[in-house]
Amino acid sequence: MWPSSVCEIIYAKIACLFFKVKTTNPKKYCVRPNTGIVTPRSTCDVIVTMQAQKEAPADMQCKDKFLLQSVKTVDGTSPKDITADMFNKEAGHVVEECKLRVLYVSPPQPPSPVPEGSEEGSSPRGSVSENGNANGSDFTQAARGFTERPESQDKSAEARALISRLTEEKNNAIQQNSKLHQELELLKREGNKSRGGVSFVIVVLIGLLGIIMGYLMKKT
């Protein structure tokens, strides 16, 4: 989230020095180089880069530390001769140590934007007067701004008219839909009645034919 780099300069005055850099959180920091040799009257830059973090700590406090160890050596040695046993105090080696704490620094805040039209050394056009009341000039400027924008007012009026027209068309469509449903119900009812009437007429005709046939058969 806030990658940073720290540069420690190691300076050897008389003798050659082997150095080694340790940290309490090796997964979080990348140290290059973490071991090396410094010849007399020369320097060596050690770059410490912190890995990107997902979120910043709430209190901006860090408990991580670095330990810089150095051991004297003779001339003619190379970084390949460095071993872990050289920095072991228990083995009788004289090891100089320096502890470094990690300190988080907040990023600088961007400068506040300067209102347009304000002169250098003068305060921005205030919205509140000294007695706490709003200045009349602010209201005048606001009203003038609204009156000087006829295009925006025309667009808003057109939008309101369009919304009103669409709402009216929607209501008309709903009414027509309900009327169509009612007409369909009436047609269904009339169709049922007509089918019922036709069947009754057919039954009556069949009955009359039966009576006539019976009468004719009796005469014969």
Average pLDDT, the chain: 77
Q: What does 6-66 look like in DSSP terms, one character per residue?
A: EEEEEEESSSEEEEEEEES-TTTEEEESSEEEE-TTEEEEEEEEEPP-SS--TT-----EE
Q: State mean pLDDT over 13-18.
A: 77
Q: Please determine, for residue 1, whether its predicted confidence score (pLDDT) is greater than 70.
A: no
What's the pTM? 0.44
Handedness of CA 159, 162, 168, 170 (dihedral sign): negative
β-sheet with 65-73: strand ranges across: 35-38, 16-23, 65-73, 96-101
pLDDT band at residue 220 using 50, 70 and 90 as cut-offs: low
In the chain, pLDDT over 70 holds for what percent of residues? 70
Could you tell me which of 75, 90, 66 has the C-alpha nearest to residue 18?
A: 75
Q: Please determine, for residue 194, whether its predicted confidence score (pLDDT) is greater than 70.
A: no
Q: What whole-number distance in Å separates Cα of residue 111 and Cα of residue 30?
A: 33
Q: Please determine, for residue 200, whether its predicted confidence score (pLDDT) is greater than 50.
A: yes
pLDDT digits (tens, 9 = 90+) for 61-107: 888 999 999 999 887 788 888 888 889 888 888 999 999 999 888 77
Q: What whole-number distance in Å separates Cα of residue 19 and Cα of residue 37?
A: 6
Q: What whole-number distance in Å separates Cα of residue 71 and Cα of residue 84?
A: 11
Higher pLDDT, 200 or 44: 44
pLDDT band at residue 144 using 50, 70 and 90 as cut-offs: low
pLDDT digits (tens, 9 = 90+) for 19-46: 999 999 999 999 999 999 998 888 999 9
Handedness of CA 170, 173, 179, 180 (dihedral sign): negative
Residue 31's pLDDT is what? 94
pLDDT band at residue 143 using 50, 70 and 90 as cut-offs: low
Residue 21's pLDDT is what? 95
